[in-house]
């Protein structure tokens, strides 16, 4: 670490998201860390920064330059693994955009690199973990207040994307460039929250429809059935093709039902245990009495800036990470198992065999005959990210 107790950061990949991160640093959103270098294989993407930063067109040169203590990787997904391993093996703290890797075998390699250098901070940009709605729901479940969970349903279909969006990058929505569609790009946030709040299921069955709403070769519509070790069931529905779309997370537990929708977290609380009432009640159609509890959540949390500040604080002060990158393997595994189940037409028991999924993905890449219209060039344009994310706005 440099002596000034400021983290010198290099942002690798300055397309839509990487530029956004740089702009937030420039706006003073983070303390004790600043961008000193940017890197993009397309040099035109760095023109917008003038001569404020050192510029690199090869991440290997930035990583070995001695100019930075830490990197933020905001490239297309496959490079999260290769650049992440290179950064960690060369002594740099690393924050990867989501997903940490495209498939579980790559995630395992990336995590192994961190195990070789445990002194380094390795974080993932799961910014929705900072949203108080999810934090409070997690507390409610983890504390046992909601009792044993019996059912989870998440309809997360407000990730609407236009064909224009998919045509803006040659890598997007291809097996070879992105490694998947909505499960790899938009829903990793939700899959991460799902495992963060409820733990991992033991079985997944899914139907993933390829190019249902867009001219793309990967999935843009998914319905998955999940089975949890305690017998709880789950349904996860996501798409980028539906407007206005829905973000509704409903959880049924022994002590009632919680619904998170439209930025409101409402617990319809059973005043007695549902399981005990079911077993002991001596009338036919009675139900436990319920109380309606509205759980106050008046913000959307710090999102990207909070994860970035936490990364800096973890480097300088050793504070615990909000989203350790190691935990990113779980959302990768969920996404891989949904695709694997859909392609094989069978339920998948978790943990999945990472090599079987890699073989499937390699075959999809090899057999791809899809020709993409990636005729829109965003170099020189800056994209407003504010409408891109399915987070609850302040009500």
Ligand X SMILES: NC(=O)c1ccc[n+]([C@@H]2O[C@H](COP(=O)([O-])OP(=O)(O)OC[C@H]3O[C@@H](n4cnc5c(N)ncnc54)[C@H](O)[C@@H]3O)[C@@H](O)[C@H]2O)c1
Does 13 contact ligand X by CB under 6 A? yes
Which stretch of DSSP H or E encloses residue 106? helix 104-116
Q: Does 42 bind ligand X (CB under 6 A)?
A: yes
Return d(Cα 68, Cα 234) in angstroms, integer. Answer: 44
Looking at the Cβ atoms of 98 and 114, the one nearer to ligand X is: 98
Question: Residue 37: which residues within 8 A CB-CB, separation 6 or more?
Answer: 8, 9, 10, 11, 53, 54, 55, 56, 62, 65, 67, 68
Number of residues that bind ligand X (CB under 6 A): 25
**Long-range Cβ contacts of 252-256 (<8 Å, 24+ apart):** 252/149, 252/150, 252/151, 252/152, 253/141, 253/146, 253/147, 253/148, 253/149, 253/150, 254/146, 254/147, 254/148, 254/150, 255/145, 255/146, 255/147, 256/146, 256/147, 256/290
* Minimum CB distance to ligand X smaller for 15 or for 328: 15
Among 16, 72, 152, 222, which residue interacts with ligand X (rule: CB under 6 A)? Answer: 16
Please identify, using beta-carbon distances, which residue of 12 and 105 lies nearer to ligand X.
12
- Which residue, judged by CB position, is nearest to ligand X in the bound state? 15
Stretch that binds ligand X, among 38-46, 129-137, 346-354, 368-376 (CB under 6 A): 38-46
Handedness of CA 360, 81, 324, 128 (dihedral sign): negative
Q: Of the candidates 30, 68, 74, 146, which one interacts with ligand X according to CB under 6 A?
A: 74
- Say how far residue 177 (Cα) sits from the centre of its chain: 18
Please select the residue that binds ligand X; options are 11, 21, 53, 77, rule is CB under 6 A: 77
User: For ligand X, which is the closer residue by CB, 17 or 352?
Assistant: 17
Closer by beta carbon to ligand X, 56 or else 267: 56
- Residue 119 tokens read as 């002194």
Q: Considering only residues 182 through 221, tell me which ones interact with ligand X, judged by CB under 6 A.
A: 185
17, 222, 315, 334: which one contacts ligand X (CB under 6 A)? 17
- Scan residues 118-137 and list those touching ligand X (CB under 6 A): 125, 127
Distance from the Cα of residue 46 to its chain's centroid: 26
Alpha carbons 252 and 258: distance in angstroms, whole number? 7
Report the nearest approach of ligand X to the CB of residue 74 (Å).
5
Helix (H, G, I), strand (E, B) or coil at 33: strand
Q: Contacting ligand X (CB under 6 A), which of 11, 35, 38, 39?
A: 39
Among residues 86, 97, 131, 158, which is the contact residue for ligand X, using CB under 6 A? Answer: 97
d(CA 391, CA 301): 10
**Sheet strands side by side (includes 256-261):** 290-295, 264-270, 256-261, 247-253, 149-156, 233-239, 219-227, 203-210, 348-349
Among 71, 72, 79, 146, binds ligand X (CB under 6 A): 79
Number of CB atoms found within 10 A of residue 211's CB: 17
65 binds ligand X (CB under 6 A): no
Stretch that binds ligand X, among 69-77, 203-211, 336-344, 356-364 (CB under 6 A): 69-77
Near ligand X by CB under 6 A: residue from 41, 112, 243, 293 = 41
Q: List the one residue out of 341, 340, 345 whose CA is nearest residue 363.
A: 340
The piece of 2-10, 74-82, 85-93, 214-222 that touches ligand X (CB under 6 A) is: 74-82
* Residue in 28, 99, 2 with CA at minimum distance from that of residue 315: 2
12 lies in the binding site for ligand X (CB under 6 A): yes
Token representation of residue 129? 């973990």
* Residue nearer to ligand X on the CB measure, 269 or 304: 304
Decide if residue 45 touches ligand X (CB under 6 A).
yes
For ligand X, the closer CB: 214 or 269: 214
- CB closer to ligand X, 80 vs 269: 80
Among 132, 169, 201, 328, binds ligand X (CB under 6 A): 169
Q: Contact positions toward ligand X, by CB under 6 A?
A: 12-18, 39-42, 45, 59, 74-77, 79, 97-98, 125, 127, 169, 185, 389
């Amino acid at each position: 670490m440099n002596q000034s107790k400021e983290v010198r950061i290099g942002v690798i990949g300055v397309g839509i998201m990487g530029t956004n991160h740089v702009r937030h640093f420039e706006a003073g959103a983070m303390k004790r860390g600043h961008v000193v270098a940017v890197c993009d294989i397309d040099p035109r993407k760095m023109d917008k920064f003038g001569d404020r930063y050192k510029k690199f067109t090869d991440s290997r040169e930035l990583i070995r330059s001695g100019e930075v203590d830490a990197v933020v990787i905001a490239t297309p997904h496959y490079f999260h693994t290769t650049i992440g391993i290179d950064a960690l093996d060369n002594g740099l703290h690393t924050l990867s955009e989501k997903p940490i890797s495209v498939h579980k075998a790559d995630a395992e390699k990336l995590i192994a690199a961190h195990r070789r250098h445990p002194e380094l901070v390795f974080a993932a940009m799961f910014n929705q973990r900072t949203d108080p709605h999810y934090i409070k729901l997690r507390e409610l479940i983890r504390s046992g207040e909601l009792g044993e969970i019996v059912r989870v349903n998440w309809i997360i279909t407000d990730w609407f994307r236009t064909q224009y969006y998919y045509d803006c990058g040659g890598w997007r929505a291809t097996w070879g460039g992105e490694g998947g569609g909505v499960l790899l790009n938009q829903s990793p946030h939700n899959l991460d929250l799902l495992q963060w709040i409820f733990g991992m299921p033991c079985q997944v069955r899914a139907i993933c429809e390829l190019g249902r709403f867009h001219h793309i070769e990967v999935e843009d519509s998914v319905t998955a059935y999940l089975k949890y070790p305690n017998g709880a069931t789950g349904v996860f529905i996501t798409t980028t093709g539906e407007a206005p779309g829905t973000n509704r997370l409903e959880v049924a537990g022994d002590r009632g039902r919680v619904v998170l929708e439209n930025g409101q977290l409402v617990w319809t609380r059973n005043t007695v245990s549902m399981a005990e009432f079911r077993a002991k009640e001596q009338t036919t159609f009675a139900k436990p009495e319920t109380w309606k509890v509205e759980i106050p959540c008046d913000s959307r949390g710090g999102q990207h800036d909070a994860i970035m500040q936490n990364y800096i604080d973890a480097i300088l002060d050793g504070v615990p990470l909000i989203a350790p990158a190691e935990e990113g393997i779980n959302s990768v595994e969920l996404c891989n198992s949904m695709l694997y189940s859909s392609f094989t037409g069978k339920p998948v028991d978790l943990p999945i065999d990472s090599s079987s999924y890699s073989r499937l993905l390699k075959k999809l890449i090899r057999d791809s005959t899809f020709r993409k219209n990636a005729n829109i060039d965003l170099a020189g344009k800056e994209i407003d990210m504010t409408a891109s994310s399915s987070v609850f706005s302040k009500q």
